[in-house]
Chain A
Amino acid sequence: MLNLLKKDILTISKARSEVLILLVMPFVLIAILGLSLGGLMTGSAEIEPIHLAIVDNTTERDGGMTILTDQGLPDEQATAIIENLKVNRQIMTVIDTLEKEQLLVAEKMTTEAANEALNHADVEGVLTIPDALTTQVLTVMNGGEATESLMLEVIDETTIQSQVLRQIFRRFTSEYNLMMSIQTIKGDTLVVPGDLPLGETKTIETTTEVSAFQYFTIGMAMMFSLYVASSISSNAFIEKKQDVLLRMMLAGEKPVRYLLSKVVSGYVLAVMQLGILFGLSQLLFDTFSDRSSEFWLTIIAVTFVYATVIGALTALLTSLTLMMPTDSVSGIFSGLVVTVFAFLGGSFTPVEQISPFIRTLGNWTPNGAMMTVYLQQIQGYSMTDSMPLLMRILLLSAILFIVAWGLFPKRRFS
């Protein structure tokens, strides 16, 4: 097995055209796309205003006035505090500002209308302000617990619009929380506020935006890793055509070992390729600066999972190639399938900007699913959040290998 693996790695690494496709081309594309589209990804380019539906369920009038008067505050002072605290009014002030800056288009809607608009992608998000939010703020400030909270629902957590909305929302809630904390201490109240009832979203919290270099390093790496499979299967065709396979068979090589060697070769070459691309990108463009060792360990683990599906894909293409009289399988895969997969997977552009459907479809391609996982990890998602996609990839790998073994022309080796 080691002999076969070494041979595959040597033949590919020594072939100039293969090195060009597997390493040079993706790296050149990372540089070109990263430099030319950097502005778009970092927000310096113009972006379309974000459409937001506001569902304001506020009906309370006094905003929990009794909580304050029960503590012995005079009516006038209590009214002044309540006026300061009114959450819905403060939110609308922030939104007005954003609208004036043409960053946001907000529209007040009922819950039903807002949900419908979100489902039809007429709006990028829905902000729901529950009733008696001001009262709940006061309750928490006095050591009680909130029963409801402000809620932001976004159409897709990976879109740029969603990320912007989340950032705005997070900034507002943290500033509001901080302001209330300071106010509580200043008011000589002994209660230290816990979590104020602000800041709940239905999407996953992220900490970091994705830069253009990060995006295209992942995008190109995911795309060009697919070429590992076609390169190895193309070599398998040459082995068949030039009777090298005959020599192996006469030397007593077992079919399962031959196919497994292709899986391992695909796996190892994919790991090497991704390692080199990520490493070079970091070295030359400082793509993943200031990342913790935990982040890098996660990226290595994710890379091992992606290499598994590349290995399985290599096995499938090898089986199909050995069945055919020509090398059309590798040709079609590298010429057509990789391009389609790369587009659906979002290697060239964030496809969710085109259509959420394409994003969903892309997540069913190996490169697309893994691209989402890598981006999630860059944004600070937990591994648990990425687990469904990782499991999907491992399952897909198993299916691809079983199909490959079923199709493998074992009689050739018998």
Chain B
Amino acid sequence: MLEVKGLSKSFKDLKAVKEVSLELKEGESVGLLGPNGAGKSTTIQMMSTGLIPSSGEVIYNNEDALKNPKQLRRDLGVVPQDIALYEELSAYENLLFFGRLYGLKGKALKTKIDEVLVLVGLSDRKKDRVKNYSGGMKRRINIAASLLHNPKVLIMDEPTVGIDPQSRSYILDLIKQLNKENHMTVLYTSHYMEEVEKLCDRIYIMDHGEVIASGTKQDLQNLMQEEETVWIETLEKNEAFKHALEDDQTITQVIESDQGYKVIAEKREDLLGDLFDYAKAHQMKPTALAIQTPTLEDVFLHLTGRKLRD
């Protein structure tokens, strides 16, 4: 349905996006996962024809969308990372404005506005100025503005940044509904791996302007089939213990957190026993030790050596 091939973008000396290729099939939900500055926003701006790429192609329904962007733009809903609304105007006034931009008018426009307001759960606050909304409400009305023209493809750039857990949950359920019930094709970018895990059928992982891995969640987890993630919960921290783990040739990553240590190591039978021995040798008393299924966070760590939110 929508495909990009070898997409690159340079800003003076900075290569923001390098040879990115990805594809959206009709009705699927695709995640674009990567840390801040990975090039996700630039990629989707080019995909939506809002930014001219330095090189590469954007193909929509077998047509070059860079040469003829009209059809893609008509079928596309874009939810920018920023709140792309007029804060001094009410939600209703904003939706009137954006609806008219898409050629809607009269009763059809008003009906559509009421429909999207119900969808994002803001019907009762439609006359309030956007600037008086909470962060979560702003995000919801930001989504509503991109749904007015019944888009077939919805591209969302980190739509849950900086909002409370309830609003996030509402938005994620809404996206799931749009994808599963309204059959909208969704491209969802985020640096929250749990959101992408929950929403997306396929995932592209980006770092430093490149796609470094792609596939279903299982495909990506399989990248770590030679490795194991072990969680060691401790009451105290010990630098010598951490160094001992890091010095072990079979352990690839040691991540310290408030409650203990996460260790990614090669799969072997005696791994847990060795970890107990390290703890004992450094007078550490682990309160729990557990082997975990690798998360996308672990996959990213495995691929880049960095955490997603570093």
Contacts and interface: CB of A to CB of B under 8 A. Distances in A.
Contact of A250 (B73, B97, B100): B73
Contacts of A411: 52
Contacts of B45: 246
Contact of A244 (B74, B76, B84, B149): B84
Chain B interface, >50% SS class: loop
A3 B84 contact: no
Given A10-B89, A11-B88, A11-B89, A247 B70 contact: no
Given A10-B89, A242-B82, A242-B83, A3 B145 contact: no
A411 B146 CA distance: 23
Interface in B48-84: 48-50, 52, 70, 73-74, 76, 78, 80-84
Nearest to B83: A242
Given A10-B89, A11-B89, A244-B85, A250 B52 contact: no
B276 interface: no
A315 to B, nearest CB: 20
Contacts, number: 65
Interface string B138-179: 000000011001000000000000000000000000000000
A7 to B, nearest CB: 5
A3 B145 CA distance: 16
A15 interface: yes
Interface residues of A, number: 21
A7 B86 CA distance: 9
Chain A interface, >50% SS class: helix
Nearest to A6: B97
B233 interface: no
B101 interface: yes
Contacts of A253: 101
Interface in A231-271: 241-244, 246-253
Interface in B84-112: 84-86, 88-89, 93, 97-98, 100-102
Contacts of B146: 247
Interface in A245-300: 246-253
A244 B86 contact: yes
A61 interface: no
Contact of A246 (B80, B89, B100): B80
A14 interface: yes
A10 to B, nearest CB: 6
B85 A248 contact: no
A3 B100 contact: yes
Given A11-B89, A14-B89, A243 B70 contact: no
A10 B90 CA distance: 10
Most chain A beta carbons < 10 A, residue from B82, B84, B149: B84
22 contacts: A3-B100, A3-B101, A7-B86, A7-B89, A10-B89, A11-B89, A14-B88, A242-B84, A243-B81, A243-B82, A244-B84, A246-B45, A246-B78, A246-B80, A246-B84, A249-B50, A251-B101, A251-B149, A252-B70, A252-B73, A252-B102, A253-B101
Given A11-B88, A243-B80, A247-B78, 11 more contacts: A3-B100, A6-B97, A10-B86, A10-B89, A10-B93, A11-B86, A247-B80, A247-B84, A248-B101, A251-B149, A252-B102
Interface of A: 3, 6-7, 10-11, 14-15, 241-244, 246-253, 411, 414
Please give me the 6 A-B residue pairs with the lowest Cβ-Cβ distance, nearest first: A243-B80, A251-B101, A243-B84, A14-B88, A3-B100, A242-B82
